[in-house]
Amino acid sequence: MKLEQAVGLVIRKHRTVEKISQFKLAELTGYDRSFISLLERGRRMPTLKTIFVLAEHLDIPAPQLVEEIQQLVNSDIMEY
For the stretch 21-79, pLDDT in tens is 999 999 999 999 999 999 999 999 999 999 999 999 999 999 999 999 999 999 866 55
Instruction: Dump the DSSP string for 15-44.
Output: HHHTT--HHHHHHHHT--HHHHHHHHTTSS
Position 77 scores a pLDDT of 61
Q: What are phi and psi of 59, to 5 degrees?
A: 60, 45
The pTM of this model reads 0.88
- Dihedral sign for Cα atoms in the order 44, 48, 50, 54: positive
User: For residues 22 and 12, what is the distance between their CA atoms, to the nearest angstrom?
Assistant: 9
Domains of the chain: 3-74 (1.10.260.40)
